[in-house]
Amino acid sequence: MKGLMQDWPLLVPKIIDHSAQYYGDREVVTRSIEGPIHRTNYAQIHSRARKVAKALTKHGIRLGDRVGTLAWNTWRHLEAWYGIVGIGAIYHTINPRLFPDQIAYIANHAEDRVIFVDMTFVPILEKIADQLKTVERFVILTDAAHMPKTALKNAVAYEDFIGAVDDDFAWSTFDENTACGLCYTSGTTGNPKGVLYSHRSNVLHALAGNCADAIGLKNVDTILPVVPMFHANAWSIAFAAPMVGAKIVNPGMKLDGPSIYELLETEKVTISAAVPTVWLMLLQHMESNNLKLSTLKRVTIGGSACPQSMIETFEYKYGVEVMHAWGMTEQNPIGTMAMMKAGMENLSREDRVKVKLKQGRPIFTVEMKIVDDAGKELPRDGKAFARLMVRGPAIASGYMKGEGGKDLDTGDVATLDPHGFMQITDRAKDVIKSGGEWISSIDIENMAVGHPAVAEAAVIGIAHPKWDERPLLICILKKDAKTTREDVLKYLDGKIAKWWMPDDVVFVDEIPHTATGKIQKTALREQFKSYKLPSAAA
Ligand code: AMP
């Protein structure tokens, strides 16, 4: 027998309809690319998104077509997303930090017909314009007054593009499993692979993300998503915030400590989301200028492991709750969040921080297990670590134009504990294999950045004649700070297992990062491939 509930497909445009209807005057504030702070609201976004939809329809864009966006977090980018999906077309977010050839590859692979692009990224596209086989038109996200001179094909200022139509437009209707968004993984090997979110997965994920034990946005919140819309579906915030009418504060292109601090304070932000590198810049700025946070209550930190010192500084120095999260492009993207559980109320400060250092419990809709190389499930005892497999309605079943599988192999190595908390120990390909055992590079990195002189740390395995591989710790020092190899090793002593102690420490000026801000271990391994550990020479 079928249930007798109405068939109300989970379509993303319904989110912006809802916010315009009930929270129409709630603000969306942006540090614009042109410079000044720009203010709009959900009613305006709704109206202008319908203009985007109408203008795209006029251009011939139809259900299933891909429309690229190469843009910072701004109100125009948000309008473009809703306008694109309102006609059943697919927003394809392009990460500007990719190499130009990779951008050309993914735009061609996605078969983008139109690209919405910020003024700042026009030069990138101009360089690869003759490689872009399918793009018919470029919409520059600005007005006529700021329109750059460009040779890009059929280039038009966004304000002119949508200004040519009115907002009398009804969203298209289609099945909720229709593709909605496309985001390519930043794969360090091989070509990037396209992850295709559906309307259903986006709506379900925004609902799950809005549970109180997840990001849990409320109407009274003001959220500053530093996490860019071009990476991992912006952690779903572009859907979760309008769903409840939370005020959004878009940082535009300025993600440095002083600019973020200024927005947090002037716009009275209550919650924010970013990768650890961004928080590091903010904390350094606040510490060197003796600043406080007057409204910020919670920060979501993910994308890379959140170091212990960051949790302690936010929580105990500034009174801001840390929500450590793990996710990936292939998952819409949130998988787990490290929120306290019933029974943990009386934990000591030290034990509470230990819980927060874990990546957390799965949000509803995410199932997970760890399996060995033979595919056998390993116990949830907090000790066994193995490949993390995930399953759920907002998790990729395959890649665009590629193959799929039943469970998604995250490529991460993790433990699962009896309380349901998952902890990442490494990327499978970064694990250090020493004497038949695995050493977690992430754990050592986490501890090393707690050293007062260390700004950033990376650990890689170096070939060793006896142990196969041994860890090498590579550090960047904080500005004007000084320390020695011996001092760093002494600091780590007692904090990690003896046999995990790095065999050597080196100091460098720069650690390479991927387009999504993660430490690029492949490049580090290449850089240190001839490095001889002192222990290997002995
Ligand atoms: P991306 O698809 O670029 O978002 O990268 C996803 C990968 O980032 C995951 O598979 C993890 O390896 C890593 N990652 C994300 N969040 C965390 C976290 N909180 N701790 C450690 N690694 C993380």
Consecutive H or E run containing 251: none
pLDDT digits (tens, 9 = 90+) for 285-316: 999 999 999 999 999 999 999 999 999 999 99
Ligand 1 pocket, residue 28 CB under 6 Å = no
Q: What is the pLDDT of residue 187?
A: 61
CB of residue 424 inside a 6 A radius of ligand 1: yes
Ligand 1 pocket test, candidate residues 275, 328, 425, most atoms within 8 A of CB:
328
Average pLDDT over residues 87-107: 95
Set 438, 514, 518, 522: catalytic member: 438
Task: Give the pLDDT confidence of 448-473 residue by residue, as tens digits.
Answer: 999 999 999 999 999 998 999 999 99
Angle between helices 13-23 and 199-209 (to 10 degrees): 50
Q: How confident is the model at residue 437 (pLDDT cuts 50, 70, 90)?
A: confident
CB 441 within 8 A of CB 471: yes
CA–CA distance, 153 with 300 (Å, rounded to integer) = 40
Work out the pLDDT band at 404, boundaries 50, 70, 90.
low
Specify the residue with its C-alpha closest to ligand 1, atom 5: 328
Q: Which residue has the tokens 């929580």?
A: 315
Predicted confidence (pLDDT) per residue in 166-194, tens digit = 999 999 999 999 999 999 987 656 778 99
Span 57-62, average pLDDT: 98
450: its two tokens: 């707690």
Is residue 535 over pLDDT 90? Answer: no
Query: Residue 405 has what pLDDT?
Result: 66
| Coil, helix or strand at residue 202 | helix
pLDDT level of residue 283 (50, 70, 90 thresholds): very high
Q: Among the listed ranges 133-137, 297-301, 424-428, which one has the minimum average pLDDT value?
A: 424-428
Which of the four pLDDT bands, split at 50, 70 and 90, describes residue 198?
Answer: very high
The more confidently predicted of residues 532 and 270 is: 270
The answer to whether the CB of 443 is under 6 A from ligand 1 is no
Q: What is the pLDDT of residue 538?
A: 56
Q: Closest Cα to atom 22, ligand 1: which residue?
A: 304
Q: Is 433 a catalytic residue?
A: yes
What Å distances lie between residue 430 and 34, 462, 481, 522, CA to CA?
41, 11, 29, 9
Q: Atom 7 (ligand 1): residue with closest C-alpha? A: 328
Work out the average pLDDT over 14-23. Answer: 98
95 Cβ inside 6 Å of ligand 1: no
| Residue 330 bears catalytic tag | yes
Q: Which pLDDT belongs to residue 515?
A: 83
Handedness of CA 8, 9, 10, 13 (dihedral sign): negative
310-362 residue pLDDT tens: 999 999 999 999 999 999 999 999 999 999 999 999 999 999 999 999 999 99
Q: What percent of the chain has pLDDT over 70?
A: 98
- Looking at residue 137, its pLDDT comes to 98
pLDDT at 258 over 70: yes
Cα 368 to averaged position of ligand 1 atoms, centre (Å):
15
Q: Say whether 499 is catalytic.
A: no
Is 528 near ligand 1, meaning CB less than 6 Å away?
no
What pLDDT does 221 receive? 98
What pLDDT score does 189 carry? 61
Give Cβ neighbours of residue 354 (< 8 Å, ≥ 6 apart): none
* pLDDT for residue 483: 95
pLDDT band at 438 (very low <50, low <70, confident <90, very high): confident
Q: What confidence score (pLDDT) does residue 435 get?
A: 86
In terms of C-beta distances under 8 Å and separation of at least 24 residues, what long-range contacts does 25-28 make, across chains too? 26/219, 26/245, 26/246, 26/247, 27/247, 27/248, 28/75, 28/78, 28/247, 28/248, 28/250
State the distance from the centre of ligand 1 to the C-alpha of 328, rounded, in angstroms.
6
Question: Is the pLDDT score of 272 beyond 60?
Answer: yes
* Mean pLDDT of the 367-383 span: 96
Calculate mean pLDDT across residues 254-276. Answer: 97
Q: Ligand 1, closest atom to CA 301? A: 19
Residue 475 in this model has a pLDDT that exceeds 60:
yes
